[in-house]
Structure 1
Amino acid sequence: MRTTFIHSAIFGLVVGDALGVPVEFKIRDFLKRFPVTDMLAYGVHHQPLGTWSDDSSLTFCLAESLCNGYNLNDISQKFLQWFNAEIWTPHGKVFDIGIATAEAIKMVAHGADPVLCGGASEMDNGNGSLMRILPLLFYLREENDLKVIFQRVKEVSSITHAHFRSVFACFIYVVYGLELIKEKDKKEAYFNMQFKLKNFVADHDFEQREIDLFQRVLINDISTVPENEIYSSGYVLHSLEASLWCILTTGTYEATVLKAINLGDDTDTTGAITGGLAGLIYGFESISEKWLNAIVKKNEIEELCEKMNRIYEKAEI
Structure 2
Amino acid sequence: METRQSQVLAGLLGVCVGDALGVPVEFTTREERLRSPVTSMQGYGTYNQPPGTWSDDSSLTFCLAESLCQGFSLDAIAQSFCRWHDQDYWTPHGTVFDIGMTTAAALRRLRWDHVSPLESGGRDERSNGNGSLMRILPMAFYYQSLEFPDLIRRVHQVSSITHAHLRSQMSCGIYISIAIQLLERDDPEPAYFKGIQKIQELYNQPPYTSQLDQFTRVFNGKIAQLSMEKIKSGSYVVHTLEAALWCFLTSTSYSQSVLKAVNLGSDTDTTAAVTGGLAGLYYGVEQIPQEWHDQIARKDNIVDLAQRLASAIASENLTKDK
Tell me the TM-score normalised to structure 2 length. Answer: 0.94
Conserved? CA contact 1:115–1:155, under 8 Å: yes
TM superposition shift of 1:85 = 2.9
Runs of 4+ in 1 over 4 A off after TM superposition: none
**Aligned equivalent of 1:117:** 120
Equivalent pair of 2:92/2:297 in contact (CA under 8 Å): yes
In the TM superposition, 1:165-314 aligns within 5 A as 165-202=167-204, 204-206=205-207, 208-313=209-314
Question: Which residue number in structure 1 is paired with residue 75 of structure 2?
Answer: 73
130-139 or 62-71, which deviates more: 130-139
Amino acid at match of 2:248: I
Query: For residue 119 of structure 1, what is the amino acid of its counterpart?
Result: G
In 1, distance between residues paired with 2:255 and 2:315? 28
Q: Would you say the 8 A contact 1:141–1:315 is kept in 2?
A: no
Q: Which residue of 1 aligns with 2:29?
A: 27
Amino acid in the other structure paired with 2:212: I
Letter paired with 2:95: K
* SS state at 1:56 partner: helix
CA distance in 1, matches of 2:4, 2:215: 38
In the aligned structure 2, how far is the partner of 1:215 from the partner of 1:206? 17
CA distance in 1 between counterparts of 2:194 and 2:287 reads: 25
Conserved? CA contact 2:166–2:208, under 8 Å: no
- One-letter amino acid of the structure 2 residue matched with residue 129 of structure 1: S
Distance 1:207 1:63, change over 3 A: closer
1:210 CA displacement: 1.3
Which amino acid letter does the alignment assign opposite residue 132 of structure 1? R
Aligned mates of 2:244, 2:260 — CA distance in 1: 10
1:65–1:75 Cα contact (<8 Å) kept: yes
Structure 2: gaps (5+ residues): 318-322
- Aligned-partner Cα distance in 2 for 1:107–1:165: 21
Residue 126 (structure 1) aligns with: 129
The code of the aligned residue for 2:42 comes to L
Q: How large is the RMSD of aligned CA atoms in angstroms?
A: 1.7
C-alpha displacement of 1:199: 2.5
Q: Counterpart in 1 of 2:320? A: none
Residue aligning to 2:110? 108
Partner of 1:51: 53
Cα displacement string for residues 207-243 of structure 1 (whole angstroms, at most 9, x for unaligned residues): 5441011011012310011110000000000000000
**Equivalent pair of 1:173/1:240 in contact (CA under 8 Å):** yes
C-alpha displacement at 1:113, in angstroms? 0.2
Q: Which runs of 5+ in 1 are unaligned?
A: none
Q: Distance in 2 between matches of 1:233 and 1:266?
A: 5
For 1:307 and 1:255, locate their aligned partners in 2 and report how far apart those are by CA, in whole Å: 30
Distance, in Å, in 1 between the alignment partners of 2:301 and 2:17 is: 14
Q: 1:104 to 1:192 in 2, by over 3 A?
A: same
Deviations 1:125-150 (A, max 9, x none): 000000000010122344333x2122
Distance 1:273 1:184 in 2: 18
- 1:155 maps to a residue whose letter is Q
- CA shift digits 1:58-89 (9 cap, x unpaired): 00000000000000100000001000134101
**Match for residue 95 of structure 1 among 94, 97, 101:** 97
Question: 1:195 Cα deviation (Å)?
Answer: 1.8
Measured after TM superposition, the shift of residue 2 of structure 1 is 9.7
- Give the conservation status (yes or no) of the 8 Å contact 2:5–2:310: no
Task: Give the Cα–Cα distance (whole angstroms) in 2 for the partners of residues 179 and 41 of structure 1.
Answer: 34
Residues 190-219 of structure 1, C-alpha deviations (whole Å, 9 max, x = no match)? 1111221232233x2235441011011012
Identity %: 46
Correspondence for 1:140 among 139, 143, 147? 143
Q: Are the counterparts in 2 of residues 66 and 139 from structure 1 also a CA contact under 8 Å? A: no
> Does structure 2 retain, via aligned residues, the 8 Å contact 1:5–1:280?
yes
